[in-house]
Structure 1
Amino acid sequence: MKTSLDRRIPRRFLTGASLTALACAAAFVTPSTAQAADEIVVTAQFRSQNLQDTPIAITALTGEMLDVRGQTNLTDLRAPNLTAEPAPGIFGPAAQIYIRGVGQFDSNFAFEPGVGVYIDDVYYSTVFGNSFDLLDLERVEVLRGPQGTLAGKNSIGGAVKLYSRKPDGETSGFIEAQTGSYDLASVRAAGNLTIVPDRVFLRLSGKGKHVNGYIDRIDYACANPGSPLPSLVTDDTGDCRLGRLGGGNEVGLRAQLRMLPADNLEINLSADYFDSSGDPGASILIEARAAANELNGVMYGPQFESPNPYTSYATYRGTATSSYDAIAKSELTSWGLAGTIDFDLTENLQFTSITSYREAESYFVVDNDESPIPKSESIGKPTQNQFTQEVRLNATLGELIDLTVGGYYYEGNAVQGGRNLIGSIGADFVTADDVDSESKSVFAHAIVHVTEDLNVTGGVRYTDDTKTFTHTRSLVDGGFSPAVNPIDGRSATFAKDIVDYRAVIDYRWSPSFFTYAQFSTGFKGGGVNPRVFFPNQVVPFEEEKVKAYEIGFKSNFLDNTVRLNVAGFLNDYTNIQIQTSTPFFNVNLPVNDDITSPDYNPAAGSFPASVFLNAGDVRQKGGEAELSYAPNDRLLIEASVSYLKGKYTELLPQATASSLTLDMELPFAPHWQTDLGIQYEFPVGSGSLTPRLDYHYQSGSFGGAVNDPRNRLESRNILDARLTYRTADEDWEASIGVSNLTDDFFYYSKFDIFAAAGYVTGTPSRPREWFLTVKRNF
């Protein structure tokens, strides 16, 4: 039975909510993100449902709420137990997305994302290039927990689904200009066109953005007179800055064509293009250990650690055995085509087809140790393309069953290209590793309406996954690389058939109170060890699995001015995929029914080694809660809180040999997150003035699987402020605001190989920044 909120909250307050708390949450009133007048409709179960009738932990944000919060990129999103951070420069243009402590930090094509990202129900298959802009969206859905039987492709941790605003035949649109800190200059615009009245509509949207980098790249010799290191400064202005990190230029375009050739047929075609170019990714040297690498008699060591969090001494000039004058830059170009057909065969039978093709390519340069000493450098030239096809058949069988059956096909090819210079072992080689992936699945999902208020849901999916990784190595500049020739052409394959299940029971106790209990499974596909030094390290690793248990309730009360959604969960993860750096045993060691230990031991047990294996099992528990309170048309208060705690229950001997212990925590899994937002609309003349404050707290976590103080990520307390003026007709808006008002400092991520190669690098948080935005709606 569906319920809808009354019309007391203005449309611009629309936002979604999914509040998951601990067992006693029923007595705990905390705000979930507000929703309003109209229902928020989500499609998490293959059909349109009111958010409050969907037995899944979901945060749903409308496009209006994204604007109010100033969230323009996927890494700006905030939801309970969600972390979405810009990846460090070593992984190129990417976002590291985790839900409930499950995700993927490495952008190499050997790995599957732990959190699926979807654009209009099209799955994006890699972490590489996934930091999408939130331009002109109808809504965003953040689904927490495994989507093993629901989303287009299996997602073990959850899914972030972006839905574009469709053309609707009305003459409407907007244009927005913004300026701010670091010479920010941005323009965003969108508009509808009617091609054929009532039948064919077009919507165009686009953006352009420039912003300077927030980290200065400084010439060490210039900043430290008397140093024997060569200076790269070419002028006599006294400015020691060689460039910046973290800035650039972006252009994005999207076109959507919506056709209604018949009353029972809708066809949506879309095309998008994105291009960015600018500085390398933001990263600094936090800690360095003395090493044999040297230049002009100066040894690599702690003296090259960044003097402050917004300074880097990186030079991008090669190593002792090989050199290049790489252009310090990062570039990404991607485009995609998609077509969706919705055909109502009968009143109770609907067919959907979703077809897509995407390509992406990048060029980025990395000074791995962020120092002026030639120690470790790399150039990334990854390329990727994918084709997907999904078909669904939705049937309504009387008033008893809502049934969905379908199939999904994915085919992808990627090349992990680039050049790697490793001074510590005298290596200089070019890679063009080929990665071929295929995934085929069939699924069925049924909701049985036992009574008007009681539903039982079941889902099953069969998946056949295959991934082949072929290593390609060649030498350049006469460099010495003992691992190149034996590895060139070596190949391995991960292949597995997997079945996932979902079972749910939900009950609506009253028009304002809804409960559910759920069991579901999911997996993150396996792959092949991508970073090898010896041929016998070219081996596959297995899939990661989860069994998830969840209970929750969704509620509206106080005359629908409060929305509170709560849930608690328990997850049993097996085969956790972990990177290790210790060469191990010469024999397979059975650990349990799912895990065996491949022979990773190089000849004579030699280093180096960088291997991925299924390290063990983890049990997690936690909860999330969101609430919104809108007592009148002017005031809106939103809040959320989430808790997460996990521990290893079993570890492989190889994992413990790499210093992993049972009491360590999963990376990027903070125990606590809290968000609070408040805004009030004051009438001013013929318009209105709305101040808004947003506060975000996240407790500390670790940036590596092997927890160490060196990769500890600090807690954060972020306060954003915004003041918006609107005319009475809402045609004009002007906003001025400050992000990170208190200038709180932390690291988004840390890359810790201090023990193995002698350094720790990190991506600093953005400092306090101001902005001014003017928007014209029409």
Structure 2
Amino acid sequence: MMNRLRLRSRASLLVASVSLFTIAAATPAVAQDENPAGTETETAAAQDTSGQAEQEILVTAQFREQRLQDTPLAITAIPAELLEARSQESLVEVANQAPNVTLRQQGASFGPSIGASIRGIGQFDFSPAYEPGVGLYIDDVYYSALTGANFELLDLERIEILRGPQGTLQGRNSVGGAIRLITRRPDADGGGYVEATYGSRNHIGFRGSASFTITDGLYARISGTARQQEGFVDRIDYGCENPGSGVPAQRPAGDCRVSRHGGVGYTAVRGQLRYNPSPDFDLLIAADYTRDHRTIAPEVLVAAQDPGNTLNIGPAFGPQFICGRYCNYSAFQQPAIVWAGPAAPGVPLIATSASDESTFEGWGISANLDVGLADWVQLQSITAYREWNNEFAADDDLSPSNIGLGQNQLDYWFWSQELRFNMELADRLDITIGGYYNDQRTEYFTLQDIRYAAIPLQFTYFPGRDPVNADSWAAFGTAIWNPIDPLTVTAGIRYTEEHKDYTFYRANPDGSFNPFLGSLTGVVGSFDGDRVDYRLSVDYRFSPEVLVYATTATGFKGGGVGPRPFNPAQARGFGPEVLTSYELGIKTDLFDRRVRFNVAAFYSEYDGIQLALLSCPQFGGPGPCALPQNAGDAHIQGLEAEIFARPVDGLQIDGSLSWIDFEYQCVNIAVVRPLNPGETDECSSDPSILGGLGERPPALPEWKWSIGIQYEIPLGGGTLTPRLDMSYNGATAGGVTSGGFSLPSWTVANARLTWRDEDDDWQVALEVTNLFEEYYYLTSFDLRGAGAGFVKAQPGRPREWAVTVTRRF
């Protein structure tokens, strides 16, 4: 407790110190501000008088073009040039430099999906039964699934990460925050680039884009990328590697590697057609296609113990199958047997096998229409349709033992429509009103051959008949009022209605009735809910250098039905989670705008937290569990700081720091243990109940920081720019309940050396990622509490190098 109080005191002292420093540094008077918040901004170049125009960032987080420093939101804005300088190629890599943001490529059991969390709020399960919690947008088009969401950073203008509840200005309600990817639009300037990459483990990549004019006012742009690379975790044939072990070899002696997990096989193309005959009419039609075919996510076994099942088939599971830092012994096959357990002895189980490759294939089309209906009103329409198919499998125990093997296939489509009216009702009053609707359907096929359980569980079989339907509609509005030059008040409101239904189908693999869960076949679980959310923000510009803002906002994530009941008692629903957030922030431009420093402190009340229990004997006895429940309520507080500095011409420094404190206020008793006779389920603050859950949710580090430094060296006929980036991620919990496997902290450094010719037509870059060969884990999956006896983890990528040659035209 004393340590926690000290941390809070230090955080409060830091906020106060920063406030005094930034206000003191703001030497010009307020009356001298010729560009107050809430008014139209000049171009970055026109405002800049110190030769630092390239550091200015314009954002559209409030759907008006504003300077980053004029926007009263906690935003991390990353221009394309900085993404390139950091050698970042995919979305999850961006989180390393974003305060209190966690993006993770998930492990093999979750397929090619990501986990996303902002300020401790998000989602890490790909199942369509859940809502993401963090909104992902590409050119204002909402992407509703975590599957396939680790986008390649292709032909972007910038990325905006908005922290805190969003929704009164756009699309889908996002309780944790939103991530907006803004692509480069075709225009009359034309141009483009092509580049080629070669690097470690036969890393071969090509990407490029080109923009051209078809006729006056009609433009097109096409961009594409293709990358291939061998994996870095070896899948080894255990019998071949260990002759005499009693495990039959599947490969000849001396050639024991079956494949390499963690490979890359990504291809994507996007085309855009833009009709812009006048400033009052802009129509952008975009279409994209993605194919991601690779070996599954790289995982290693970190703990193993015999689960004590009674099958007596194949090698006993144990620590002998812990292969090493970058290898595993997964077999991806289980033989046909006759069940010998105490429940239903004699039940035959068929042989199962699967591939260790994952395939994602998807496409989408969208239309963004922007029309000036009058001098004071603008209409924006965003229409989109997306469809994808995903197939993957996982040998969860990473060994030749018969513990568990899962096969999965998802077929998905999504349609959305959004309308917004942006109005200038007076010189000092802007209003946005809008509406949003989406319709979504997913069909989920899976065959889970789980043999560590006390009953024969090779039954979770959905032959294309497990539909999940979801739809949502909302109306929202925001008013931005500038009563006097230095003061702006922003108020927003949103009404949302959501529906989701999940139809269960449970049968044996041959389609016959399953005696354990057959009663679930045809059962429909559903969730219907509505909610009013709001945002109120006040910002005050003390001087051209200092903006201070205070915000309160609410958000929610809809409830649903647990998609994976392993017994009838686990066929349970869960309710929505709700967040109320309070934030204080300072944005500064100091020392003739050579230093940009932003800091935000927040406090949130988080109720009805949705957590997936991997052990739940209180719901149906021992055995597998993957049950989402409303675990309880918590308070979250944190601090975030970002800096961008150019102390001298050519030298650039950027960094971030975040701290977050998560504390359960109460925990629902039935989530951590069975109810005692006469006891009712309630949210209890009893220490013995609070201790049943981990101190904080998974993937939530208490501390994060990053630092990057580069210096552009003139060479006479070009420039040479060395750059070094370092990022730190604190230790995180690996599971929901206490006592689970935790992921240690890690620090990773990347280096890059870039040469550009005098006209910036040619560029050659040498990059080395994970420069100091840090060994660390990104994710883990601990099923010891469920009786499986193992913990597996996904290591981060080892040191890699690559050379990239770029030609711009």
Shared topology, TM-score over 0.5?
Answer: yes
Distance 2:185 2:57 in 1: 16
Aligned: 1:527 with 2:560: yes
Q: What letter matches 1:355 in structure 2?
A: T
The residue aligned with 1:304 is 321
Structure-2 change in CA distance of 1:21 and 1:266 (3 Å)? farther
Q: 2:185 aligns with which of 166, 169, 175?
A: 166
Aligned: 1:627 with 2:643: yes
The residue aligned with 1:80 is 99
Q: What letter matches 1:42 in structure 2?
A: V
Aligned: 1:502 with 2:532: no
The residue aligned with 2:256 is 240
Aligned: 1:742 with 2:760: no
Q: 1:566 aligns with which of 599, 607, 620?
A: 599
Aligned: 1:683 with 2:714: yes
Aligned: 1:114 with 2:133: yes
Equivalent positions of 1:580-595 (< 5 A) are 580-581=613-614
Distance 2:116 2:180 in 1: 13
Query: What secondary structure, in the 3-state scheme, does the structure 1 residue paired with 2:168 have?
Result: coil
Aligned: 1:549 with 2:582: yes
Structure-2 change in CA distance of 1:488 and 1:21 (3 Å)? farther
Structure-2 change in CA distance of 1:610 and 1:656 (3 Å)? same
Q: CA deviation at 1:435?
A: 0.6
Equivalent positions of 1:332-481 (< 5 A) are 332-424=360-452, 425-429=455-459, 430-431=461-462, 432-476=465-509
Structure-2 change in CA distance of 1:225 and 1:686 (3 Å)? same
Q: CA deviation at 1:48?
A: 1.8
Q: CA deviation at 1:582?
A: 5.6
Segment drifting more, 647-656 vs 386-395: 647-656
Q: CA deviation at 1:327?
A: 2.1
Q: 1:641 aligns with which of 651, 657, 664?
A: 657
The residue aligned with 1:591 is none
Distance 2:583 2:150 in 1: 29
Distance 2:635 2:358 in 1: 39
Q: What letter matches 1:333 in structure 2?
A: E
Equivalent positions of 1:277-288 (< 5 A) are 277-288=293-304
Q: 1:291 aligns with which of 304, 307, 316?
A: 307
The residue aligned with 1:71 is 88
Structure-2 change in CA distance of 1:566 and 1:440 (3 Å)? same
Q: CA deviation at 1:584?
A: 7.2
The residue aligned with 2:36 is none
The residue aligned with 1:133 is 152
Describe the superposition over 1:549-591 as per-residue Cα deviations: whole angstroms up to 9, x where unpaired. 0001101011110001111000110000012256577xxxxxx
Are 1:316 and 1:325, in contact at CA under 8 Å, matched by a contact in 2?
yes
Q: What letter matches 1:208 in structure 2?
A: A
Q: CA deviation at 1:515?
A: 0.5
Are 1:295 and 1:374, in contact at CA under 8 Å, matched by a contact in 2?
no
Distance 2:164 2:421 in 1: 25
Q: What letter matches 1:67 in structure 2?
A: E
Describe the superposition over 1:661-720 as per-residue Cα deviations: whole angstroms up to 9, x where unpaired. 277112111111111000001112401110000010111111211143x42111111110
Aligned: 1:751 with 2:784: no
Query: What secondary structure, in the 3-state scheme, does the structure 2 residue paired with 1:55 have?
Result: coil
Q: What letter matches 1:744 in structure 2?
A: E
Distance 2:66 2:734 in 1: 38
The residue aligned with 1:716 is 746
Q: What letter matches 1:150 in structure 2?
A: L
The residue aligned with 1:698 is 729
Q: CA deviation at 1:37?
A: 3.6
Structure-2 change in CA distance of 1:216 and 1:584 (3 Å)? closer
Q: What letter matches 1:55 in structure 2?
A: P
Are 2:507 and 2:513, in contact at CA under 8 Å, matched by a contact in 1?
no
Structure-2 change in CA distance of 1:59 and 1:446 (3 Å)? same
Segment drifting more, 118-127 vs 281-290: 281-290
The residue aligned with 2:758 is 728
Structure-2 change in CA distance of 1:114 and 1:223 (3 Å)? same
Distance 2:266 2:158 in 1: 23
Structure-2 change in CA distance of 1:729 and 1:28 (3 Å)? same
Are 2:506 and 2:514, in contact at CA under 8 Å, matched by a contact in 1?
no
Q: CA deviation at 1:291?
A: 2.5
- Where does the alignment leave 5 or more consecutive residues of structure 2 unmatched? 1-12, 23-50, 338-348, 675-688
Segment drifting more, 546-555 vs 284-293: 284-293
Distance 1:625 1:546 in 2: 22
Are 1:250 and 1:276, in contact at CA under 8 Å, matched by a contact in 2?
yes
Q: What letter matches 1:286 in structure 2?
A: V
Structure-2 change in CA distance of 1:254 and 1:436 (3 Å)? same
Greater RCO between the two (CA within 8 Å, min separation 6)? 1
Q: CA deviation at 1:132?
A: 0.8
Segment drifting more, 184-193 vs 468-477: 468-477
Equivalent positions of 1:643-658 (< 5 A) are 643-657=659-673
Alignment root-mean-square deviation, CA: 2.0
Q: CA deviation at 1:453?
A: 1.1
Distance 1:100 1:453 in 2: 30
Distance 2:730 2:150 in 1: 23
Query: What secondary structure, in the 3-state scheme, does the structure 1 residue paired with 2:239 have?
Result: helix
Q: What letter matches 1:290 in structure 2?
A: D
Distance 1:309 1:660 in 2: 35
Distance 1:358 1:650 in 2: 40
The residue aligned with 2:806 is 775
Aligned: 1:186 with 2:205: yes
Are 2:381 and 2:419, in contact at CA under 8 Å, matched by a contact in 1?
yes
Q: 2:112 aligns with which of 76, 93, 117?
A: 93
Describe the superposition over 1:94-123 as per-residue Cα deviations: whole angstroms up to 9, x where unpaired. 111111111111111111112111111111
Say how many residue pairs are matched. Answer: 733
Equivalent positions of 1:666-681 (< 5 A) are 666-681=697-712
Distance 1:44 1:117 in 2: 13
Describe the superposition over 1:171-222 as per-residue Cα deviations: whole angstroms up to 9, x where unpaired. 310001011111100001001111112x100000001110001100001111
Describe the superposition over 1:602-629 as per-residue Cα deviations: whole angstroms up to 9, x where unpaired. 4xx5755442211100101111101111
What TM-score does the superposition give when structure 1 sets the normalisation length? 0.91
Query: What secondary structure, in the 3-state scheme, does the structure 2 residue paired with 1:110 have?
Result: coil
Are 2:614 and 2:785, in contact at CA under 8 Å, matched by a contact in 1?
no
The residue aligned with 1:596 is none
Distance 1:164 1:702 in 2: 35
Are 1:547 and 1:571, in contact at CA under 8 Å, matched by a contact in 2?
yes
Distance 1:357 1:297 in 2: 48
Describe the superposition over 1:484-536 as per-residue Cα deviations: whole angstroms up to 9, x where unpaired. 41121111111101000000010001011100000000111111111112334
Are 1:322 and 1:477, in contact at CA under 8 Å, matched by a contact in 2?
no
Q: 1:57 aligns with which of 74, 79, 89?
A: 74
Distance 2:511 2:356 in 1: 23
Q: 2:283 aligns with which of 245, 258, 267?
A: 267
Distance 1:759 1:323 in 2: 22
Q: What letter matches 1:185 in structure 2?
A: I
The residue aligned with 1:211 is 229
Q: What letter matches 2:776 in structure 1?
A: F
Q: What letter matches 2:362 in structure 1?
A: S
Q: What letter matches 1:184 in structure 2?
A: H
The residue aligned with 1:25 is 18
Structure-2 change in CA distance of 1:289 and 1:698 (3 Å)? same
Query: What secondary structure, in the 3-state scheme, does the structure 2 residue paired with 1:476 have?
Result: coil
Segment drifting more, 175-184 vs 608-617: 608-617
Equivalent positions of 1:591-630 (< 5 A) are 601-602=619-620, 608-630=624-646
Query: What secondary structure, in the 3-state scheme, does the structure 2 residue paired with 1:450 have?
Result: strand
Distance 2:782 2:68 in 1: 41
Q: CA deviation at 1:126?
A: 1.6
Describe the superposition over 1:381-431 as per-residue Cα deviations: whole angstroms up to 9, x where unpaired. 012110000000011011121000010001100112121111123222322
